[in-house]
Every structure is written in C-alpha cells, then in structure tokens.
C-alpha cells in the first residue's frame, strides 16, 4: 500500500497527530509511519478505537485506532464526565484502578488515575499488578462508584485494554454501557482531556485489600478438614507471566494445600510472555511447560491462569495416567456439580438458590441444576451478564456459582466477575472431594456424564485481522442470517435463535417467539438430532467463533473414549458441511 493510495481523510487525521498538543514521541512515531509504513498508518487511523460496552481493547501504538495515552485519555475523560452526571450528590466520587502484567499497563493505569484525579475523583490505585477479580472486590469493599482495570486478558502481547466497572462491582451493563459510550464520543479533541493530575486525590492500595479479599475467598471452602487430610495432593500452578502469581499460591496455601509447585520460568510477570506463543489457557501450548513440570513431580492437578487471572485452564490425569486438558465446559460442570452437591449435603438448599451460565456454555450445567431442584439462568456471552443477574436478585435469591465455556467461573457473590483465584481453590477442593471418594477428577467427570447425560462440545475460532478481516466476519454473519442452512450434516434445522433480531424461529411450524435477552450478534441453529451450533463474532479479538454441542448417553464409563471419538467425528462432519475451513 502506497501513501498516495490512502484516503485523504485518513491522512488528514494522521496529520492532526503531528500537532503541538501531542507529545514529541507520538509525533515522531506518526511521522515515521507516514514515511516508512503506509499500511500500518492506514490500520492505525482508518477508524477510531471503539469504546464498546465493556471499554477499550486494541493493539498498542500511535493512532486513533490504537491503545495509547490519548485514546485512554479520551475514554477516561468521558467516563469521568458520566460519573459526575450520575452521582451529582456524591461529594467525592471514588474509583478503584488495577492493572496486569502487560506492557504499558502500569503506564495506562497511572494516566487514568491522573485524569480522574484532575476531574476531582478520589482514586484508589493498586501499588502493584493485581488480578482483575480483586479490582471487582475492591470497588464494593471501598465503596467506589466505578472501577477500571488495564488488561487485554488473554489477547496476544501487542494488545492492551481498559475495562470499566460500576458501583456493584460488575462490568458496565445497560443503561450505563451505552450512556458511557455517548459521553466518550463527546470527547472529540485532545484538549478536552484534563491531564493535569492532582496527586492528593490518588491513594495507593495493596495489602489491606489483599487481606480482606483473601479472607472472603477462604470462607468459601466446604471441606477444610478433608483438605487437611489430603494436604499433600500435588498441584502444579503457572501464572503464564501474569498477575495470578500475586494471589493464587497464597490462596491455595490458605485453603491448606501444602504441595504446590510453581512453574518458575512463568512466575515472573512479563508482558512479552517470553515462554509462550499466547497467554491463553484455552490453548494446549500455553500449558506445555506446566504439564512437563507435572510429569516430574507426579502432580494430580495442573492449574494455569491468564494474564489478569480471571480465567483458569486445567489439566488432569486420565484413566491411563496421561495428562489431558479439560475444556471450559468440563471444568464448569465439575465445579457446579461439586458446589450444588455440597450445598445439599450441608442443608443449605432452601429453594431460593440458583446458578447462571451463558448461552454457549454446556447444557450439562442446566441438567445438574434441574436434578437438584436448583434454578438456573441463561445469559448472553460475557460475565457482566452473570453479574447483572446477581445484582438483580441480591437479597431475594442466593447465587451458588456460575460459569462460561471460555474458562471463566465464579463462586459466591463478593466478586462480580469471573475469578481465577477463587476457581483455582475450588477446583483443587473438588479434586480433594473426589480423592476422598477414592476416585480421580477424571473419574468424577465420567460419573457425571453417566448420571446426567454426556455432553460433547467443541469450539472453532477463525481469525480475520484488520479492516478487511472485520468486513469479512460481518459478511459471514450476514450470510448465515439471510441464508440459514435448512439442514446441517444431513439433520434438519428445527429452530433458529437470532439474538440480534431477538427471534426464536421454529422452522418446522413457522412459529416465532421473542427472545427476552439484550440484542447481540449471535445465531444458534438447533438440529433434529440434538446438535447445537452457535456463531458469534468475538467482542475482544479479530475472530469469529463457532460453538458445537452434541448430547448423547454414556451407559458405562468404559465407553467414554469411544463415544467421544464418535462425537468428534460428527462435529468434524458439521464443520465440513458448513464449509468453515475453506
């Protein structure tokens, strides 16, 4: 791509960043792009980095479509303006800020704190990197009106992000999500941002909040005596160069686990993630070093948290003693089964308890809840919707736990976001529970399949980068929406759920019902043989995701691998029939 081929309006926007109101380093970087890299100049300026319903996430660098001091500044100024509109009678609005191990996270957190302080807000800034769930906890613990965490979760190293929370400790939901976007869009010039900090408004926090949070985490344990009996259960933990190292080992020790092995090379926070290609615990390669360590120490459980420690990947031994990775649905099913089982055993099921899962998460969670007589709720993808349910029923019903297939889980309600610190502790406790029964976690999972039905799920993510990729993803969704398949893998499509149009269409009799959830660009196809296929663009990455779910029966646990192989072949055939890999 040559500079003369780029739209003149994009060039004009880039030239604005050469003005005196931008710092010297920024001006030099923009000039370098104009002189040497027109293609990157185009990607950096062809649009504005969108402040979505959860905040910002993008590649770091100069430009209106990148994460930098100025795009973060515009988001923060817009948020500050909205907070003052919403809390006119609060003499000093309070905001908590945390950040992860990514490159520039501390810098962006400091910039954010300074702008908020200049807007007469009292800012509680964590002195060092901390997990995202602790930020959620801190908001309510400190009586804040809002919170911000600087993180891009599990995205590649070139990304960073900016997530906004409300006074309930959950991420922004309606009406605040859209209203904040309106205020951010009103910040149309850099000169509208108040960069002049008021240091007296910024308070450093750390150990006191850690102690309060960890005390609540410890209270969740059901079986401390049994953990003490099995305190030597061997656990390998890796923080994948992220924030989990600050609290996960401490929390596990508080629970009573004494045989914890760290992957030392990955215990050092580092935004370049030098030992892994991607810091995503969903990916097998991310756990490779941890599994090698597990083999050396004969570990029964492997735990890996993502950079901001809100999601956790798990590896366990199968019946042959080989380490296998659990997918997010399997871990969620084990957790929900254990939690509800313990609630019943301790006489705490009084008829007002519930769990929450997302629409792309395994229906096995609903099966388990139903058999125990526990209510369950389905919500859109995104943990903010689980937090919204908790907030809605606070004081009326009791939240047991919830989860989503993308490795995020929550137990208890003192945090209002997915929490890998809690999850690591409760997964380890579930392993001890199984051990006390004389079985492994793997065997417990198979027993759950045998009792409640075997659900086999798989995920296909297709990456489409840049503007052309975004356009291609949009076109793919449009094609599936306007020309839906009549059959998939020779099985008739009997229902289509379109969450964007909020319609549940029975394709057999033509009946249409409303979907009582917020609009979202998601499609689900249900076939006559019981398959469920969900399609949605990622809200945080340049990807379109296809979720596949199949239900079958497991009469005997000895048949598991054979039936799983048949299910995999069926999903492969569905992928081929939909021509997803062409």
Kindly list the domain boundaries of the chain, sorted by start residue: 1-46, 52-205, 226-452, 455-577
Identify the CA nearest to 206 among candidates 308, 122, 127: 127
Contacts of residue 140, Cβ cutoff 8 Å, sequence gap at least 6: 167, 168, 169, 414, 416
Q: Would you place residue 101 in the very low, low, confident or very high pLDDT band (cuts 50, 70, 90)?
A: very high
In this predicted structure, the answer to whether residue 539 has a pLDDT above a threshold of 80 is no
Q: What's the pLDDT at 162?
A: 97
In this predicted structure, the answer to whether residue 466 has a pLDDT above a threshold of 90 is no
Q: What's the pLDDT at 468?
A: 85
SS3 187: coil
Q: What kind of fold does domain 52-205 have according to CATH?
A: Alpha-D-Glucose-1,6-Bisphosphate; Chain A, domain 3 (3.40.120)
Going by their DSSP bridges, the two strands 122-126 and 408-411 should be labelled as unpaired
Prior bond of 175 cis (ω within 30°): yes
Cα 550 from Cα 453, distance rounded (Å): 10
Share of the chain above pLDDT 70, in %: 99
- Tokens (6 digits) for 281: 């615990």
Identify the CA nearest to 122 among candidates 100, 147, 140: 147
In this predicted structure, the answer to whether residue 154 has a pLDDT above a threshold of 90 is no
Which phi-psi region, left, alpha or beta, contains residue 500 (left: φ > 0; alpha: ψ -120 to 50)?
alpha
Looking at 213-217, 437-441, 466-470, which range is the least confident one? 466-470
The mean pLDDT value of the chain amounts to 95
Q: What's the pLDDT at 1?
A: 63
Cα 499 from Cα 522, distance rounded (Å): 5
Identify the CA nearest to 51 among candidates 188, 236, 252, 235: 188
What are the angstrom distances between the C-alpha of 12 and each of 40, 60, 186?
A: 15, 21, 20
In this predicted structure, the answer to whether residue 105 has a pLDDT above a threshold of 90 is yes
Length of the chain equals: 582
Q: Are 313 and 279 in contact (CB under 8 A)?
A: no
Q: What's the pLDDT at 322?
A: 97
Going by their DSSP bridges, the two strands 55-59 and 94-99 should be labelled as unpaired
Q: Are 524 and 496 in contact (CB under 8 A)?
A: yes
Please give the average per-residue pLDDT across 192-199, as a whole number.
97
In this predicted structure, the answer to whether residue 244 has a pLDDT above a threshold of 70 is yes
What are the angstrom distances between the C-alpha of 287 and each of 263, 281, 534?
A: 10, 7, 27
Per residue, what are the HEC states of 342-363?
A: HHHHCCCCCCCEEEEEECCCCC
Cα 242 from Cα 251, distance rounded (Å): 16
Please give the average per-residue pLDDT across 28-43, as a whole number.
93
Per CATH, 52-205 and 226-452 having the same topology is answered yes
Model confidence pLDDT, tens digit, residues 37-86:
999 999 999 999 988 777 899 999 999 999 999 999 999 999 999 999 99
Looking at 119-133, 239-253, 506-520, which range is the least confident one? 506-520
Q: Are 500 and 521 in contact (CB under 8 A)?
A: yes
Q: What kind of fold does domain 226-452 have according to CATH?
A: Alpha-D-Glucose-1,6-Bisphosphate; Chain A, domain 3 (3.40.120)
Contacts of residue 549, Cβ cutoff 8 Å, sequence gap at least 6: 362, 363, 455, 456, 457, 531, 532, 533, 534
Cα 459 from Cα 338, distance rounded (Å): 25
Q: Would you place residue 580 in the very low, low, confident or very high pLDDT band (cuts 50, 70, 90)?
A: confident
Model confidence pLDDT, tens digit, residues 408-418:
999 999 999 99
Q: Would you place residue 14 in the very low, low, confident or very high pLDDT band (cuts 50, 70, 90)?
A: very high
Q: What's the pLDDT at 189?
A: 92
Q: What's the pLDDT at 103?
A: 97
- Among the listed residues 153, 333, 362, 440, the single catalytic one is 153
- Tokens (6 digits) for 352: 């007002």
Q: What's the pLDDT at 398?
A: 98
- Assess whether 153 carries a catalytic annotation: yes
Question: Terminal CA-to-CA distance of the chain, rounded, Å?
Answer: 27
In this predicted structure, the answer to whether residue 318 has a pLDDT above a threshold of 70 is yes
Q: What kind of fold does domain 455-577 have according to CATH?
A: TATA-Binding Protein (3.30.310)
In this predicted structure, the answer to whether residue 538 has a pLDDT above a threshold of 90 is no
In this predicted structure, the answer to whether residue 253 has a pLDDT above a threshold of 70 is yes
DSSP strand E in 263-360: where?
301-305, 312-317, 323-326, 353-358
Identify the CA nearest to 466 among candidates 136, 111, 158: 158
């Amino acid at each position: 791509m040559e500079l003369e081929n780029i739209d003149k309006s994009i060039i004009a926007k880039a030239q604005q960043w050469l003005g005196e109101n931008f710092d010297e380093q920024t001006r030099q970087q923009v000039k370098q792009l104009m002189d040497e890299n027109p293609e990157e100049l185009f990607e950096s300026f062809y649009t504005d980095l969108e402040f979505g319903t959860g905040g910002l996430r993008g590649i770091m660098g100069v430009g209106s479509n990148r994460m930098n001091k100025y795009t973060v500044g515009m988001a923060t100024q817009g948020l500050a303006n909205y907070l003052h509109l919403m809390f006119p009678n609060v003499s000093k609005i309070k905001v908590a800020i945390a950040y992860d191990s990514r490159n520039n996270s501390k810098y962006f957190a400091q910039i954010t704190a300074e702008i908020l302080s200049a807007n007469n807000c009292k800012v509680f800034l964590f002195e060092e990197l901390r997990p995202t769930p602790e930020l959620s906890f801190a908001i309510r613990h400190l009586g804040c009106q809002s919170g911000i965490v600087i993180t891009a979760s599990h995205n590649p190293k070139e990304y960073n992000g900016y997530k906004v929370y409300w006074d309930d400790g959950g991420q922004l939901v309606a009406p605040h999500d859209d209203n904040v976007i309106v205020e951010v869009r009103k910040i149309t010039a850099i000169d509208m941002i108040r960069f002049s900090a008021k240091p007296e408004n910024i308070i450093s926090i750390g150990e006191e909040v850690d102690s309060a949070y960890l005390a609540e985490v410890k209270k969740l344990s059901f079986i401390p005596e049994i953990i003490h009996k099995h305190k030597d259960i061997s656990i390998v933990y890796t923080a994948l160069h992220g924030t989990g190292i600050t609290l996960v080992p401490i929390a596990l020790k508080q629970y009573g686990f004494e045989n914890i092995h760290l992957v030392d090379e990955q215990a050092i926070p580092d935004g370049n993630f030098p030992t892994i290609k991607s810091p995503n615990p969903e990916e097998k390669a991310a756990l490779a070093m941890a599994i090698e360590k597990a083999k050396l120490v004969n570990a029964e459980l492997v735990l890996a948290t993502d950079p901001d420690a809100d999601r956790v990947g798990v590896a366990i031994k199968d019946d042959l003693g080989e380490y296998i990775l659990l997918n997010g649905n399997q871990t969620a099913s084990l957790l929900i089964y254990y939690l509800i089982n313990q609630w019943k055993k301790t006489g705490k099921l009084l008829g007002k308890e519930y769990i929450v899962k997302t629409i792309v998460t395994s229906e096995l969670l609903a099966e388990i809840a139903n058999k125990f007589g526990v209510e369950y709720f389905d919500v859109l993808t995104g943990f903010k919707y689980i937090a919204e349910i908790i907030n809605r029923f606070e004081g009326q019903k009791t939240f047991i736990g919830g989860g989503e297939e993308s490795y995020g889980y929550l137990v208890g309600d003192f945090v209002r976001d997915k929490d890998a610190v809690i999850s690591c502790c409760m997964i380890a406790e579930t392993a001890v529970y199984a051990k006390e029964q004389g079985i492994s976690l793997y065997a417990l999972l198979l027993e759950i399949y045998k009792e409640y039905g075997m659900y086999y799920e798989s995920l296909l993510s297709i990456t489409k980068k840049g503007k052309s990729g975004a356009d291609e993803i949009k076109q793919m969704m449009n094609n599936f929406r306007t020309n839906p398949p009549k059959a998939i893998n020779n099985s008739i499509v009997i229902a289509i759920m379109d969450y964007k149009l909020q319609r549940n269409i029975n394709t057999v009799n033509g009946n249409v019902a409303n979907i009582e959830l917020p609009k979202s660009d998601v499609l689900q196809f249900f076939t006559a043989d019981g398959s469920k296929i969900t399609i949605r663009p990622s809200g945080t990455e340049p990807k379109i995701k296809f979720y596949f779910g199949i239900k079958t029966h497991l009469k005997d646990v000895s048949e598991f691998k054979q039936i799983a192989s048949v299910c995999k072949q069926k999903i492969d055939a569905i992928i081929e029939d939909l021509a997803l890999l062409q």
